[in-house]
Structure 1
Amino acid sequence: MVRRAPVTPLRENLPPSILILPDGRKLAYHEYGDPAGSVVVNCHGGLVSGIDIEYSDEPARALGVRIISPDRPGIGGSSRWPGHRMLDWASTDLDVLLAHLGVERFRVIGWSEGGQYALAAAHAHAGRVDRVAIVAGALPLAEPAHPERLAELNANDRRLIALARRVPIVARAYFLGSRWLSVLSPPILARLASIGLGPSDVSLITTYSNWFARAMAESVADTRGSVDDYLAFGAPWGFAPEAVGARVEVFQGDADRVIRVEWSRILVERLPEARLHEFRNEGHFVALTRRAEILQYLTTVSDPV
């Protein structure tokens, strides 16, 4: 049975805060949970924005957690950074944001594409990150030792990486169409996005079609930024999973058709200190169904009962 989150988030449609970076670019970020709580940095997924974690607002308040969720370059209210890679973002933009907010120690969560950004944050800020939660995250896609990895990625993301590299104008047309659909008909967008997904994900994406449409609309607000994001997704990480020193909790549905369950198992084997939480008959949207549980594992000193 699929778990349900309340359909109306507590902080829907609040505008993000804007930080002007040293080079003049804008960094947009959202905050959820307890403003005085321990800090969790959220790294949003692909084709969504920093509002992808807004349904965690209520459990974060209950756990005394402050969630800081920045939009990556070219996404939502954040300015583009052409040619950036994820380790660039973790070492510079995120560092400036943390200094601005007076954050010294923190924990990190990343869903889907955001999982690799969460690991990059832990690597770039070694000694400051206490724990990491990866929710249905990908393996490195550009490792010479694993040339097959990109071919194992789901068809839609694989196609968008190829278009971003070879014919970005076509990728931008796809993103533009998604933006129009997100505004004109969230239910149709949800139905199209559900093609190829498992039953639990189809149900969830349909139920939360308005949230999904808003998050996608922000992700493709600047179609050039969407291309940048996919180029970074398919680029080398700049570090190996074996180099991440923080403890990592990996959450994965065994019915996920976006990120294959085998990838999470391999990731856990490669990380120095990691544990896999695998959920039967659940898909890619375990970020919604298990949001309170994930936060609890991420933020408690001892494992929750």
Structure 2
Amino acid sequence: MSASLSPAPLTVRLPDGRTLGLTRYGDPAHRPVVYHHGFGTSGQGLLNDTALLARLQLQLLAPDRPGGGQSSVYRPLTFPSFADDVVAMLDALEIREPVGTMGWSVGGVHALALAARHPARVAAVTLLSTCLPLGEREVYRHLSWLWKGLLWGQLGFPWLNRTTFLWLSRQWARHPDRTIDWFIRGMRPAEARVTARFRELLRDAAVQGFAHHGRGVYDDAQAWCRPLGFRIEDVRAPVRLWHGQADGVWGPGNIPYLAQRLGGAPVHLLPAQGHMLYLENWEAILEEMAELLHEK
């Protein structure tokens, strides 16, 4: 394996002086795809399949949201503000062509924000086990009682959430192995099986995600619960959704509703798979993205 094709940690300077950290996978000469990580993790949570990326002629750019990894804390984080950060990142890397974008879990909402806010910069979108935006009024009636309760707690008791994320950041920093094992024991079978298989990868990604004393995770949660700041219907690029029928984090019941709002976007609904399905279906996911980019 060439050293240039190993995951490369990079930083770029944003227009307001902040630092944005990211990880690049693959050859910088190949077609770029921006990956938005899930909640409480980072851009280091991707499989480094250099042969697959070379075959598809893709590179992956996985930025850490503010407060994660090497990215500066940015307390007024919103979906639109991070979409603008990603465009500034692309400009700093001298990437002018439209990119693919994908997002896992809440990262799917960030992928939609990029496509809706900067349609000329996005050629295709893939949503992986995506969540709905908690702060959008139209979405509220589609939420389960559990998610309605979590939304209420996040907005009503921010100090408690801040304290919780601070405590978790210390656990990830001091006892990463014990912490990942604790999370695995609390997961449903579909998630526990895959997390145990990719234990070290997900452990290290979470350690970076909870950097800066968990500040970024808290700000990400607050952004998720606030008004969306863009219209889902403004996404013009082709969209594909992947979701597991056994998803124990975000059930598949309202994924058809999201697909309908995206113009009837096709959905891959996978039996017996959970929230971590992107790790088990990475080749097929990237192959589909390469096809979408080739069509564009």
State the TM-score, normalizing by the size of structure 2: 0.88
Give the partner amino acid of 1:175.
Answer: F
Please show how residues 99-248 of structure 1 align to structure 2 within 5 Å.
99-104=91-96, 105-152=98-145, 162=152, 164-195=154-185, 197-222=187-212, 223-248=214-239
CA gap 1:302/1:45 in 2 versus in 1, 3 angstroms:
closer
Q: 1:30 aligns with which of 18, 23, 42?
A: 23
My pick for the range that moved more, 114-123 or 27-36, is 27-36
CA gap 1:286/1:11 in 2 versus in 1, 3 angstroms:
farther
Give the partner amino acid of 1:100.
Answer: A
Instruction: State the aligned residue count.
Output: 291
Q: 1:20 aligns with which of 5, 13, 23?
A: 13
Alpha-carbon distance in 2 for matches of 1:302, 1:163: 40
Alpha-carbon distance in 2 for matches of 1:183, 1:13: 24
Alpha-carbon distance in 2 for matches of 1:162, 1:216: 25
| Corresponding residue for residue 265 of structure 1 | 256
CA gap 1:181/1:260 in 2 versus in 1, 3 angstroms:
same
CA gap 1:57/1:42 in 2 versus in 1, 3 angstroms:
farther
My pick for the range that moved more, 224-233 or 181-190, is 181-190
Q: What secondary structure sits across from 1:281 in the alignment?
A: coil
Contact 1:160 1:230 in 2 (8 A): no
Tell me the alpha carbon deviations over residues 137-160 of structure 1, each in whole angstroms, 9 at most, x when there is no partner. 112222223433454555xxx776
| Corresponding residue for residue 40 of structure 1 | 33
Give the partner amino acid of 2:180.
Answer: A
Give the partner amino acid of 2:167.
Answer: G
Q: What secondary structure sits across from 2:77 in the alignment?
A: coil
Alpha-carbon distance in 2 for matches of 1:211, 1:109: 19
Q: What secondary structure sits across from 1:230 in the alignment?
A: helix
| Corresponding residue for residue 4 of structure 1 | none
Contact 1:141 1:235 in 2 (8 A): yes
Sequence identity percentage: 30
Tell me the alpha carbon deviations over residues 32-88 of structure 1, each in whole angstroms, 9 at most, x when there is no partner. 022211110111111101112244554223311011111111111101111221112
Alpha-carbon distance in 2 for matches of 1:159, 1:73: 26
Q: What secondary structure sits across from 1:267 in the alignment?
A: helix
Question: How much is the aligned-residue C-alpha RMSD, in angstroms?
Answer: 2.7
Give the partner amino acid of 2:225.
Answer: G
1:98 equivalent to 2:90? Answer yes
Give the partner amino acid of 2:266.
Answer: R
Q: What secondary structure sits across from 2:228 in the alignment?
A: coil
State the TM-score, normalizing by the size of structure 1: 0.86
Q: 1:63 aligns with which of 44, 50, 56?
A: 56
| Corresponding residue for residue 73 of structure 2 | 80
Contact 2:24 2:59 in 1 (8 A): yes
Tell me the alpha carbon deviations over residues 179-221 of structure 1, each in whole angstroms, 9 at most, x when there is no partner. 3433444443233323553323111112222222211111111
Alpha-carbon distance in 2 for matches of 1:110, 1:302: 16
Q: What secondary structure sits across from 2:246 in the alignment?
A: coil
Tell me the alpha carbon deviations over residues 91-142 of structure 1, each in whole angstroms, 9 at most, x when there is no partner. 2x11111111121211101000100000111112213311100001112222
Alpha-carbon distance in 2 for matches of 1:118, 1:214: 23
Alpha-carbon distance in 2 for matches of 1:146, 1:169: 25
My pick for the range that moved more, 123-132 or 169-178, is 169-178
